[in-house]
Amino acid sequence: MYFQDITSVLHMDGHGIYVWSTYGISLLIVAYNVLAPLRQKKQVIGQIKRQIINEKQVQSEKNTAVKQ
């Protein structure tokens, strides 16, 4: 490692605040790019599954109505 101790890693000769803030903000944006599509995927799959179940129910009700 280039730095001697944890204090010099954080301080970076006075540039620590700039360097660490960019890494922090980047982490947030990278996390958003991962989490947002995962949430969307869960939502869409949930919607389609509900739609399939509903359609199956409607179909079976129709079938029983026809039999009766």
Partner 1 sequence: MNWTFFHKLGSPKWFYDISGRWLPWLATISALLMATGLTWGLLFAPPDYLQGNSYRIIFLHVPTAFLASAVYVMMACAGAVTLIWRVKLADVALKCMAPVGASFCLLALITGAIWGKPTWGTWWVWDARLTSVLILLFLYIGVIALRGAIRSTTTAAKACAVLSIVGVVNIPIIKFSVQWWNTLHQGATLKLTEKPAMAPEMLWPLLISILAFYLFFTAVLLLRMRTEILNRERRTQWVQQRLGG
Out of 51, 54, 57, 63, which residue is the one contacting partner 1 (CB under 8 A)? Answer: 51
CB closer to partner 1 out of 5 and 67: 5
Residue whose pair of structure tokens reads 């869409």 in the numeric block: 44
Does 57 participate in binding partner 1 (rule CB under 8 A)?
no
Instruction: Give the length of the chain.
Output: 68
Q: 18 is written with which tokens?
A: 């700039």
Under the criterion CB under 8 A, does residue 58 sit at the interface with partner 1? no
Binding mask 3-32 for partner 1 (x = CB under 8 A): x-----x--xxxxx-xx-xxx-xx--xx-x
Q: With b meaning 16 or more CB within 10 Å and e meaning fewer, what string describes 24-38?
A: eeeeeeeeeeeeeee
